[in-house]
Amino acid sequence: MSETRLMKGNEAIGEAAIIAGCRYYFGYPITPQTELMEYMAKRMPQIKGVFLQAESEIAAINMVYGAAGAGARVMTSSSSPGISLKAEGISYCAGAELPCVIVNIMRGGPGLGSIQPAQADYFQATKGGGHGDYRNIVLAPNSVQEMADLTILSFDLADKYRNPVMLLGDGALGQMMEPVNLEEKSLVPQKKPWAANGLGERTKPNVINSLYLKPEQLEAHNIHLQNKYQNILKQECRWEELSVEDAELIVVAYGITSRIARSAIEMAKRDGLKVGLFRPISLWPFPSERLLTLAKQTRAFLVTELSAGQMIEDVRLATGQMKPVHFYGRMGGMMPSSREIYNQINLIMREKEAVK
Amino acid sequence: MTHEMILAGFGGQGVMVMGQLLTYAGMLEGAHVSWIPSYGPEMRGGTANCSVIISQEPIGSPIVTEATAVVAMNLPSFEKFESSLSSGGILVLNSSLIDRQSKRDDIRTYNVPANEIANSLGDARMANMVALGALNAALGYIVGTSQIMEAFKKIFAKKPGIVAPNELAILAGAKHVIG
């Protein structure tokens, strides 16, 4: 039986991770994700799991590397500056093909920035962050319920592809309370015959490593990784759409911004405007193919983000020069109101009317 | 109907829990609800506030900028959020601590001496519950008092002794508004 509870997004991630079988959490506090860490500090001892506050973010991600290498379901979380510190370790996890879940509850940047909600880490999350040719699977929830659901999915995808998965939220999603339904059953993670957890029945020891000194071997490893990424690209694109079929303008937004955009779209629809919403749920792999299809039937796009414009590059790559791609963003922890986005929609639609 | 509310006061007046109770009660009523605190760097004794939305529609931004109702528990909150109220909105003022009146004539203001009422019920700390009762009544009972109390029992499960006096405080706040 599941019960509807009122939870903060940060707490919902914690409980969902436990449901997914995560028994190891390593982290270092930072606003606005600290409630997740606090939740794990309370819950892990109750279920005989491990909660450890590391001496730094760098230590925490390397503890994740160790636990993942031993086959455990493991998670770490932080907010923007802390994720930068973890970048080296994430690259190591990607190189050694270690399944793990990394949560980034984004705040304003660059530098120490602010503690308010932002989406300025899109490039870092989807294009790398650490060194080398690697990809994280990146999932972007837009409600407390999805914070929970996508956390469980993150663990499953991490194991399925032996790949780091980043759950990308923001300060508003982390701090806000909403109703959430949590399955009370605990998932049993699948067996990991590759894990370095004792020889057991095997005759050859498993080795967890990202070092290949012979370039031929490293290239072969890279080709293997790239094939895996291609497979993920084919299998794991996720998105949500609303009223796109006859839309003359499609707003593209993810996470918290998609909700504000949705309210703005409802306002525009009441004026009789044909506006739809496209919300990428997986930021990598990015649902490019679907956007290309939509580009053929709509007249323009409006990308809106809590950044100077990062996801817009993927929208442009997906749709080429087919249709104009407009942008509206706020930065530094500022959030647009639905009326602001509504005004942008109106502006674009009026221009369209003029050239018709 | 979408109720977008800002509840504000100084740290310790219980505005966060006031918002959580309202949100929880809305959830029990089956509405879409959200609650979010202002979590910026605040000075000690400064203002604390939270945004609460109770709606029949899915909620966009949880952060309220154009409020349909504001509760101001102290003067700095009144000064900060009076202008956030949209026309026709409801302002609940804790007149125990705010000796000023709103100059706006496009809103409905309820002056509620929340501290005095709570004091008369035996505990000044219940001023937030008086204000909550007043707000809910002023809004025409967007949630039932019984739902608020069910939420209260969940949130304060470890303190069953405080349920009855807090219910009285909520009812007293409502009575002040209804008359």
Q: What is the ipTM of this complex?
A: 0.94
Chain B partners within 8 Å of A31 (Cβ): 39
Same domain, A253 and A278: yes
Average pLDDT value for residue range A113-117: 95
Please state, as a whole number, how many other Cβ atoms lie within 10 Å of the Cβ of residue A38.
Answer: 16
Looking at the structure, tell me whether residues A130 and A259 fall in a common domain: no
Instruction: Please report where in the chains the tokens 């000044």 appear, as a residue.
Output: B124
What total number of domains does chain B contain?
A: 1
pLDDT above 90 for B40 = no
- Residue A124 near residue A154, CB atoms below 8 Å: no
Same domain, A164 and A243: no
**Same domain, residue pair A58 and A176:** yes
Q: Do A260 and B61 touch (CB under 8 A)?
A: yes
User: Within this chain, do residues A223 and A257 fall inside the same structural domain, yes or no?
Assistant: no
Integer Cα distance of B154 and B157 in angstroms: 5
Question: What is the pLDDT averaged over residues A257-270?
Answer: 96
Is residue A111 a part of any domain in this protein? yes
d(CA A68, CA A26): 12
CB contact under 8 A, B61 and A266: no
pLDDT for the residue numbered A354: 63
Contacts of B23 in chain A (CB under 8 A): 6, 177
Question: Average pLDDT, stretch A58-74?
Answer: 98
Q: Identify the sign of the CA torsion B56, B60, B62, B68.
A: negative
Mean pLDDT of B6-10: 96
Domain containing A127: what range?
4-185+210-235
Instruction: Flag if A115 and B66 touch (Cβ within 8 Å).
Output: no
At residue B128, the pLDDT reads 97
CA-based nearest distance A262→chain B, Å? 7
Q: What is the percent of chain B with per-residue pLDDT over 90, rounded to a whole number? A: 89
B100 vs A19, B68, B95, B116, CA distance in Å?
52, 21, 8, 17
Mean pLDDT of A123-146: 96
Q: Would the pLDDT of A200 be above 50?
A: yes
Q: How confident is the model at residue A356 (pLDDT cuts 50, 70, 90)?
A: low
Give residues with Cβ within 8 angstroms of A113, minimum separation 6: A80, A81, A107, A332, A333
Nearest CA-CA partner of A41 in A57, A18, A62, A64: A18
Please indicate whether, in this complex, the C-beta atoms of A175 and B66 are within 8 angstroms of each other: no
State which residues form the domain around B59: 2-178
* DSSP assigned state of A107: B
Q: Which residues are CB-neighbours of B49 under 8 A, at least 6 positions away? A: B6, B7, B8, B9, B15, B37, B38, B77, B80, B81
Give Cβ neighbours of residue A305 (< 8 Å, ≥ 6 apart): A119, A122, A253, A254, A257, A311, A312, A327, A329
- Domain total of chain A: 2
pLDDT computed for residue A1 by the predictor:
47
* Whole-number Cα distances in Å, A246 to A273, A326, B26, B126, B161: 10, 19, 35, 54, 58
What is chain A's alpha carbon radius of gyration, rounded to the nearest angstrom? Answer: 21
Give the tens place of pLDDT for each residue, A269-279: 999 999 999 99
The reply to whether A278 and A220 lie within a common domain is: no
Binding-site residues on chain A for chain B (CB distance < 8 A): 4, 6, 31-32, 115-116, 171-172, 175-179, 256, 259-264, 266, 335, 337-339
Do A47 and A60 fall within a single domain?
Answer: yes
Q: In this structure, are A147 and A81 located in the same domain?
A: yes
CA angle A208, A212, A215 (to 5 degrees): 155
Residues A110, A52: one domain? yes
Q: Are residues A142 and A154 in the same domain?
A: yes
Task: Determine the pLDDT at residue A340.
Answer: 95
B86 touches chain A (CB under 8 A): no
Residues A252 and A340 in one domain: yes
Global confidence as pTM: 0.95
Mean pLDDT, rounded, for B48-63? 94
Chain A CB contacts of B61 under 8 Å are 172, 256, 259-260, 263, 335, 337-338
| The predicted structure's pLDDT at residue A187 | 74
What gap in Å lies between CA A93 and CA A332, rounded to an integer?
30
Question: How far is the alpha carbon of B110 from chain A, nearest alpha carbon, in Å?
Answer: 28
CATH number where B171 lies: 3.40.920.10
Q: Write out pLDDT tens, residues A19-49.
A: 999 999 999 999 999 999 999 999 999 999 9
